[in-house]
Structure 1
Amino acid sequence: MAVSQQRTTRESDNIYSKMDWNKLGYDVIPTDYMYIMKSNEDGTFSNGALVPFGTVQIEPHSSVLNYGQGLFEGMKAYRRADGEVQLFRPKENAMRMQVGAERLLMVAPSIEQFVDAVKQVVSANKRWVPPHGKGSLYIRPLLFGSGSVMGLAPAPQCTFLIYTNPICNVYKGRTSPLSLLIHDTIPRAFSGGTGGVKNIGNYSPIFQVTKEAKGKGFSDVLFLDAKEHKYVEEVSSCNAFIVKGNVISTSPTLGTILPGITRNSIIQLARDLGYQVEERKFSVHELLEADEVFCTGTAVGISEVGSATYSNQRVDFNLGANTVTQKLYELITGIQTGLLEDKNGWVVKID
């Protein structure tokens, strides 16, 4: 695999000069540099480098094109009020990629290599981190089988690639609470599958279902378990939580649910605030009786759910300034953007 059609500095400067941070959305905005590192014959990684952002060339026989052997991660870099830039828990992303690589029989960068590469690409694209309060720089690390194969087999070589893209604070331009359609026939993941890792093949199978739901006016789809079609699992790209009194519940990560980093952070922060947090299976009927429902993920952050519809029954949930959801939202975003003290050592500053 080779890099081709790299952008010139003049092209990059021209795009940057036209940026209006007040109108930032979820559009494709190429930044200055990306990072590429390929595995060696002995299964290790070395000699990674920053290169100007551009397209890549890949062999038609590559395992990622033929068999979908690939993973991705999602992270963000935040601009503090003092102008500095920081990351949120990058080691967790590195470890999750290693778990996914083991599942898909790929070699993965070490934690140190991963974090160092992320730091390099963010530092190189630092001017693209939006001003404080205007958004964040989305970071997309990819790991995929770039080596050529003919038979059904893992790739002999893997490529680690990171690119970045500035995005707004509001997920895909949404300005109102989520309205979820609960799907009880098509599951998102199966026991023994790859629902517990960020496999690139996890997401396209739900495109049709989510498109149909959005065509009916819903924000997204909430999927149930594949066996009994009864228990809450995930929304299309984020974890789900319910709140009932002082108890916060979320589904356990037992192979079909992604162990979200925002999810794990919220669990800890909620316990620190004195809430009882349970990781357990809960039914769709428990969700419909909840006081509050919210979703967590890198892209969505913490998004409150205004309503859920199941078998043509719509239920509305509590919203507003005094909710548990809002308290947790203000706490985690305050830590991520440097407005609140990081007491857990989660923040990594970019020099």
Structure 2
Amino acid sequence: MAKADASKLDWNNLGFEYMDLPYRYTAHWKDGEWQDGGLTEESTLHISEASPVLHYGQSAFEGMKAYRTPDNHIQLFRPDQNAARFKRSCERLLMPVFPEDKFVDAVKQVAKANADFVPPYGNGGTLYIRPLIIGTGGVIGVHQAPEYIFTIFAMSVGNYFKGGLTPVNFTTSAYDRAAHKGTGQAKVGGNYAASLLPAENAHENGFADCVYLDPVEHKYIEEVGSANFFGITKDGVFKTPKSPSILPSVTKYSLLWLAENRLGLGASEEKIDVNDLDQFAEAGACGTAAVISPLGGLEHNGKLHVFHSETEVGPVTKKLYDTLTGIQFGTVEAPEGWVQRVE
């Protein structure tokens, strides 16, 4: 694949696809320690055919974005939270932790080096940043790798779901996303590989994606595809599911805080029964890639429950979206420590 050329990008029609940008950051762990890392133009990783990442899925990643502000600066949204979650994912899979301060610094280096690919302010585009760690080296027994590669690459992106802030319909899945004592709270590759078939089934039936229920009773909402669920109750409470197998979303916890402290709503993280959808006036999915995707309706056991509308975003969801993206793009005052400037 040829290197991307910023001068040839159509900023108003970006998708959510891989691009080979000029620079990425790479560091290697071997002999029990991290070697000095740095920026590189090499976009191909060379690893042993016996690397544990290939056989046993020893890998973890993060999803982040860099935003162009109206005064043409570039900033990150809560990168320290991604660094902390990356640390927890590494610990879960017995991988060496890349120091959190160096993680944030490396992300800034990648964003700055690829500054030409951060979309201009006003079109909704962002620079999506993907930190990744994989277990490498010649290992065939089931145990952790002797070596690791940590890398960060980036790409210019538009909306994750086509249509942007437009309601889409989902359906519940009979498959489990993760077990309560499994790797659901870690952002690891295997969780997403297991989601491909349920998502494909949902697409074939005309839905944007599927909603996973809890793996024990199959009645409590867990995740919406690869995003977190939230609902706005008819009496003004922002609710989001609580479960030991849900990935702790930086976006979700940001919305929880904003709902209570900026919008004056109640805010609660609790079990949400899929049979109790009537309590919600609005609902949506949230995450770094999707930001917020309104749920028009949710099909369960052959019946479609419609929330606010199948065609129009609800007023509270729109206000949450405007507040969150305003902070991310620098037009709304951010809570202390939520944004970090790159340049």
For 2:204 and 2:314, locate their aligned partners in 1 and report how far apart those are by CA, in whole Å: 32
Distance in 2 (CA, whole Å) between partners of 1:310 and 1:47 is 51
Residue aligning to 2:341:
349
Structure 1 residues not aligned, in runs of 5+: 1-6
Task: Determine whether 1:107 maps to 2:96.
Answer: yes
What fraction of aligned residue pairs are identical, expressed as a percent? Answer: 40
Task: Measure, in 2, the Cα distance between the counterparts of 1:322 and 1:250.
Answer: 17
Deviation digits for residues 208-263 of structure 1 (CA, Å, limit 9, x no counterpart): 11112111111110010111111110012000011112112111142x00000001
CA contact (8 A) 2:294 2:313 kept: no
The answer for the alignment partner of 2:286 in structure 1 is 296
Alpha-carbon displacement from aligned partner over 1:253-311 (angstroms, at most 9, x marks no partner): 42x00000001100111110221111111100122542111111000101111111111
Match of residue 270 from structure 1: 259
Q: Which runs of 4+ in 1 moved over 3 A?
A: 319-322
SS for the counterpart of 1:234 is strand
Picking from 66, 74, 91, the partner of 1:77 is 66
The Cα shift of 1:40 comes to 3.5
CA contact 2:171–2:211 (8 Å) conserved in 1: yes
Q: Which residue of 1 aligns with 2:327?
A: 335
Alignment of 1:1-351 (within 5 A): 12=3, 15-42=5-32, 44-134=33-123, 135-168=125-158, 170-175=159-164, 176-183=166-173, 185-244=174-233, 245-254=235-244, 256-272=245-261, 273-319=263-309, 320=312, 323-351=315-343
Q: 1:55, CA displacement in angstroms?
A: 1.3
TM-score by structure 1 length?
A: 0.92
CA contact (8 A) 2:285 2:295 kept: yes
CA distance in 2: counterparts of 1:287 and 1:233, whole angstroms: 14
Q: Which whole-Å CA distance do the structure 2 matches of 1:198 and 1:258 have between them? A: 7
Q: Secondary structure at the match of 2:322?
A: helix
Q: Is the 8 A contact 1:74 1:298 kept in 2?
A: yes
1:16: Cα distance to partner? 2.7
Distance 1:174 1:208 in 2: 24
Closer/same/farther in 2, CA of residues 45 and 253 from structure 1, 3 Å limit? farther
* TM norm structure 2: 0.94
Matched residues in 2 for 1:253 and 1:112: separation? Answer: 29
Distance (whole Å) between structure 2 residues aligned to residue 181 and residue 336 of structure 1 = 30
Query: Matched residues in 1 for 2:192 and 2:313: separation?
Result: 33
CA contact (8 A) 1:30 1:53 kept: no
Q: Distance in 2 between matches of 1:235 and 1:205?
A: 14
Cα deviation, residue 99, structure 1: 0.5
Counterparts of 1:297 and 1:321 in 2: how far apart (Å)?
A: 17
Aligned with 1:258: secondary structure? coil
Contact kept, 8 Å, 2:30 with 2:146, in 1: the verdict is: no
User: Secondary structure of the equivalent of 1:155?
Assistant: coil
1: distance between equivalents of 2:176 and 2:51?
29
Report deviation, 1:174.
3.2
Distance 1:67 1:279, change over 3 A: same
Alignment check: 8 A CA contact 1:31 1:165 kept: yes
Report Cα offsets for 1:52-101 as digits up to 9, x if no partner. Answer: 04211111011101110000100000011111100000111111011011
